[in-house]
Chains A and B, each alone.
Chain A
Amino acid sequence: MKRLYLAHERAILGAGGVVLFLVLWEGFERGWWAELLQPLLGPEAARFQLKPIFISSPTRIARMAFDMFFVTGAIWKDLGWSNLEFALGVALAFAIGIPLGLAAGWYRRFNYAVEPFLAALNATPQVAFLPLLILWVGTGLASRVLIIVLLAVLPIAISALAAVRTVDARLVRVARSFSSGDALLFRSIILPSAVPFLLAGARLAVGRGMIGIVVGEIYGSSAGIGAMINQAGSRFETDKVFVGVLTIAAAGVALVELIRRIERRVDVWRSQVAA
């Protein structure tokens, strides 16, 4: 028994903590704790029962999630919009960020020229540009995609820049000694060595992109998961809000895990090439 516990200590303690938390939560909503403390505190105990619009409860959220995903299916349309925005935004961020970062890493003078802009953008919470974007292109899909681009482009550009900068100087010297031109050098040495950096940048960009989805949608939009959360919040439909939050959390975990897997793959491939 004890050995079984020790072998799975991590899983047991982790799951235990989560279950305890869920039971506590459920109890606040259902009034279990109020009942339990009644003999001790008298009428004061009523304070241990909280309104469902205030905290909802795990079972309510589960029921609502089931409803939204499988009965009414209302959430799929919002998810579709959010996915579209995310895919467009991150793709654009890559399309802009990679060439920008590679060029800044390769051409010193170009780097000097763009440096001040990148530094300023990096120091700004980029979401502050959202009202401006809306003023330019309205509250439609375009502003939501653009805010994702704005948030995600920097980590990608910076990782591409770092990738070029840290290319093994020995490899470059070897290639030069075979008098390979810039284009070939770029294709044969720089791009392959840049892959792990770009993946690390992608991991950051995905996180930023998720922020972009949410912010773009909760601020003056009528479509997407963020808008759903916003509407539910303003109608005090707390269950729905939680479903939205948890859906985004699940998507975030899945995406980061996916990139981690790719990173591991690439690592294996790299060490095999090296060996």
Chain B
Amino acid sequence: MNFERLLIGGGTLVVFLLIWELCADFGAINPLFISSSSRIAQAGAALVADPDFWNDVRVSAREFILGYVAAIVIGVPLGLLMGTSRRLSYIVAPFVDTLNAVPRVTLLPLLIIWFGIGIWSKVAVVFLGAVIPIVISALSGVKTNEARFLTMARSFSASRIKIFASIILPGMVPFIFTGLKYAAGRALLGVVVGELYASTAGLGHMIAEAGNMFQTDTLFFGVLIFTATGLVVVALLDQLERRFERWRPSVGAAT
């Protein structure tokens, strides 16, 4: 991280927050509409002491984790099977492609009819949002395996299981992580939309309520929690990926 980048980036952020604060404090814009950094901090402090808030966090976390984990558990093997069996991929592809073309949140009204307005309709929409990118990335991970490695393995009379475990699976890892990161965004989107649309608890529900009651500070705090979650999940996946990929040469590091 170079110093100039830190200075300019951090500086702009501070100036932005300051202007925001001043606009609200001196009444240039009604704080009811835009809140301000100090008000958001105060609202956050109050919420953290409130057990209802923690209940909302628990509900949202449960929806996210259940839906996302189910998407991984089903998506990775499905993509793998589609990649290894041409016939299966012919049969499943129309369904995957169709689902991929619809924003899965469109299915919410149906999911609510099927699963009610409790946590399970949200788990379902999170699952549907996340599973498609995971299937597609796992599938392309199998498909793009390098032919020269397969030739090498066949030349050593490797068994099918050996080829799978030593060549195909390790080759898939970077694709799967790309899919997982993308899917995490889709899963969070599912949580938010599901809870905005119809729910009795959860952070999305909290945001919606706050919006209805003009509690802009609470609303912003809720959005910030989602931002933080998105950042943390991707950072965790990056960490995990690095552990899996110690062998990879570091080309053009992102800085």
Contacts and interface: CB of A to CB of B under 8 A. Distances in A.
A241 B110 contact: yes
A207 interface: yes
A73 interface: no
Contacts of B103: 207, 210-211, 214-215, 248, 252
B114 interface: yes
B101 A256 contact: yes
A116 B196 contact: no
B108 interface: yes
Given A125-B191, A127-B192, A128-B223, A252 B109 contact: no
A134 B192 contact: no
B223 A13 contact: no
Contact of A245 (B12, B110, B114, B192): B110
B51 interface: no
A250 B112 CA distance: 23
Question: For A117, A230, A245, A248, which residue has the most chain B Cβ atoms within 10 angstroms?
Answer: A245
A109 interface: yes
Contact of A233 (B90, B109, B191): B109
Which secondary structure dominates chain B's binding surface?
helix
B101 A125 contact: no
Question: For A115, A214, A232, which residue has the most chain B Cβ atoms within 10 angstroms?
Answer: A214
B87 interface: yes
Interface in B102-128: 102-103, 105-110, 112-114
A249 B98 contact: yes
A214 B105 contact: yes
A16 B21 CA distance: 62
Interface string B88-105: 001111110110011101
A7 interface: no
Nearest to A124: B227
Contacts of B8: 109, 112-113
B109 A234 contact: yes
Nearest to A209: B103
Interface residues of A, number: 57
Interface in B184-232: 185, 188-189, 191-193, 196-197, 204, 207-208, 210-212, 214, 216, 219-220, 222-223, 226-228, 230-231
B28 interface: no
Interface in B24-38: 33
B4 interface: yes
B87 A9 contact: yes
B93 A14 contact: yes
Contact of A9 (B5, B90, B214, B219): B90
Contacts, number: 153
Nearest to B98: A249
B249 interface: no
Given A17-B94, A124-B226, A131-B196, A248 B211 contact: no
Contact of B90 (A14, A53, A113, A124): A14
A135 B220 CA distance: 12
A127 B219 contact: no
Interface in A199-250: 207, 210-211, 214-215, 218-219, 226, 229-230, 232-234, 236, 238, 241-242, 244-245, 248-250
Nearest to B87: A13
Contacts of B196: 127, 130-131, 215, 219
Contacts of B5: 112, 115
22 contacts: A9-B87, A13-B91, A16-B91, A17-B94, A18-B94, A21-B95, A112-B9, A116-B13, A123-B228, A123-B231, A124-B223, A124-B230, A127-B196, A128-B223, A215-B193, A218-B197, A229-B109, A232-B109, A233-B108, A238-B110, A245-B107, A252-B103
| CB-based closest 10 A-B pairs | A233-B109, A131-B211, A123-B230, A112-B8, A13-B90, A17-B91, A252-B101, A211-B103, A124-B227, A113-B12
